[in-house]
């Protein structure tokens, strides 16, 4: 791949695909939608958007991309999941549907709709470790968002939120080439998280 502009797909089965395509282009990637295994084979990396993880999971099985995606993740392809995409990257989920499958790859337990009872949707400044201009918080848009309930030893926590119960829950994590956030940077004009991911993709390709 060209080290300057990697090809980054956005899983386009369901969810806020267009916003990610725009954010990735702003972060100097060549962004394109991915629905089929042939399209997945052509990208250097993938974003799994926000949306509804139960539907996305069903469609991934229907379109035959679930297994190829698992294989690419196992082979080290960088993937960034936002919200429903975070759920898709979790090795284990809580409050999922009984038949709900994930791609997996990040050694974490993620709870769907975790903020639900306190607050369906909210926006909040989030301190995100390792971003350029790190002291400036990321504008976190949380929409029926999941949180991370627990992580394995290989998982780096990049951002956390304290809940009303006074417990800190990770809302941004990284394990190797896999990145996940509970919130939606693609819905803000701030593309630092996408730029962080595109840098990770470049580093993985070198
Ligand atoms: N609650 C949704 C799910 O379970 C995620 C919401 C989102 O992606 N904004 O998939």
Tens of pLDDT, residues 61-111: 999 999 999 999 999 999 999 999 999 999 999 999 999 999 999 999 999
Question: Cα 137 vs. chain centroid, distance in angstroms?
Answer: 18
Domain ranges of the chain: 7-205
pTM for the whole structure: 0.96
Distance 146 CA to ligand 1 centre (A): 7
Distance 55 CA to ligand 1 centre (A): 10
- Please check whether the domain covering 7-205 is classified as CATH 1.25.40.10: no
Q: What is the number of the ligand 1 atom nearest to the C-alpha of 50?
A: 8
Residue 118 has what pLDDT? Answer: 54
**Three-state secondary structure string covering 111-156:** ECCCCCCCCCEEEEEECCCCCCCCCCCEEEEEECCCEEEEECCCCE
Residue 117 has what pLDDT? Answer: 59
Residue 127 has what pLDDT? Answer: 96
């Amino acid at each position: 791949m060209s080290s300057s502009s990697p090809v980054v797909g956005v899983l386009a089965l369901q969810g806020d695909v267009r916003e990610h395509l725009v954010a990735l282009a702003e972060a100097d990637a060549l962004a394109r939608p991915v629905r089929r295994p042939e399209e997945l084979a052509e990208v250097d990396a993938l974003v799994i958007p926000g949306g509804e993880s139960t539907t996305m999971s069903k469609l991934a099985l229907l379109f035959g991309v679930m297994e190829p995606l698992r294989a690419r993740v196992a082979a080290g392809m960088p993937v960034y999941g936002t919200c429903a995409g975070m759920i898709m990257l979790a090795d284990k989920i809580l409050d999922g549907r009984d038949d709900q499958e994930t791609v997996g790859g990040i050694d974490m337990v993620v709870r769907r709709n975790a903020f639900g009872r306190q607050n369906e949707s909210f926006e909040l400044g989030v301190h995100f470790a390792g971003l350029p201009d790190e002291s400036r918080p990321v504008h976190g848009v949380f929409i029926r968002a999941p949180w991370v309930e627990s992580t394995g030893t290989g998982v780096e926590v990049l951002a956390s939120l304290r809940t009303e119960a006074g417990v800190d829950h990770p809302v941004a994590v990284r394990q190797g080439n896999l990145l996940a956030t509970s919130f939606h940077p693609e819905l803000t004009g701030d593309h630092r998280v996408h730029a962080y991911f595109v840098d990770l993709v470049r580093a993985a390709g070198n």
